[in-house]
Amino acid sequence: MRALLASIVSLALPPRCPRCASVVAADHRFCARCWAGLDFLGPPWCAGCALPFGHDRGAAALCGACLADPPPFAGARAAVAYGPVARQLALRLKYGGRAAFADTAARLMLRLVPPDADLLVSVPLHRLRLWGRGYNQAALIAAALGRAAGKPAPGGVLLRRRATPVLRGLGRRGRAKAVAGAFALADGGAATIAGRHVVLVDDVFTSGATAAACTRVLLRGGAARVTVLCWARVIGEGAGD
């Protein structure tokens, strides 16, 4: 009976591509056209911010921006470059109420979870945005990723204690200034992260200003190391952080 009901549901509500809604073989899969539109990231890339390199410069090589201003985190990773397909999934997750797309993103991020990671912590939303949206997309991704990787993903470790402006259009210094002092550890957060390798999870990585601000709070709170992991990385300007 259960198998019959599942078959009926699959016929009435077949799995659809997260981007274009074409019918696909299984949940969380993209159609062939949208899959081809995803630009998967991996080495060779900057060891600091995951900016892709045209050729292999060595595992520890940094881009010019990271050489000039080294990030506090021990490397950033992203599953895909921020393009039309990746952008659509991020926006539908963030603003469209498609919470299940957090699992879609997590499945493609799983390969980049450091084997020695101890726990996953999400970039927080300010309470006003959380009330308005109803959820934090980064927390949904972290929870899905934690389940897939077998890593704890405790919620509420970080707080965004003041609202920050949209970072789109701000320069590197402007973004850093906008998020300075915006984050803090929640009560009990220090005990959760003490001496541990923390993976900081977010949906989109642009300049790294938000990730850097969160990382500094985590390191001051006692984390041994912080690696940043995002769904998509913006290559060049063009999106919020």
Whether cis (ω within 30° of 0) applies to the bond prior to 14 is no
CATH number, span 72-233: 3.40.50.2020
Q: Rounded distance, CA 142 to CA 208, Å?
A: 18
Instruction: pLDDT tens for the chain, 241 residues: list them.
Output: 555 454 444 455 789 999 898 999 899 999 999 999 999 999 999 999 999 999 999 989 999 999 999 999 999 999 999 999 999 999 999 999 899 999 999 999 999 999 999 999 999 999 888 888 899 999 999 999 999 999 999 999 999 998 776 666 666 677 777 787 889 999 999 999 999 999 999 999 988 999 999 999 999 999 999 999 999 999 975 444 4
pLDDT attached to residue 4: 45
Q: Rounded distance, CA 132 to CA 102, Å?
A: 19
Alpha carbon distances (Å) from 71 to 101, 201, 213, 215 = 29, 16, 10, 9
pLDDT attached to residue 178: 75
pLDDT attached to residue 239: 42
Q: Rounded distance, CA 53 to CA 62, Å?
A: 10
All structural domains of the chain with their residue ranges: 1-32, 72-233
Alpha carbon distances (Å) from 68 to 40, 88, 180 = 27, 33, 19
Q: What single-letter amino acid sits at 78?
A: A
pLDDT attached to residue 180: 79
Report the alpha-carbon angle 214-143-73, nearest 5.
25
Q: How many helices (H) and strands (E) does the chain have?
A: 10, 6
50 with 75: CB under 8 angstroms? yes
pTM of the model: 0.90
Q: Is 175 exposed, middle or buried (0-12, 13-18, 19+ CB in 10 A)?
A: buried
Give the HSE-up count for residue 67: Cα atoms under 13 Å, Cβ half-sphere: 6
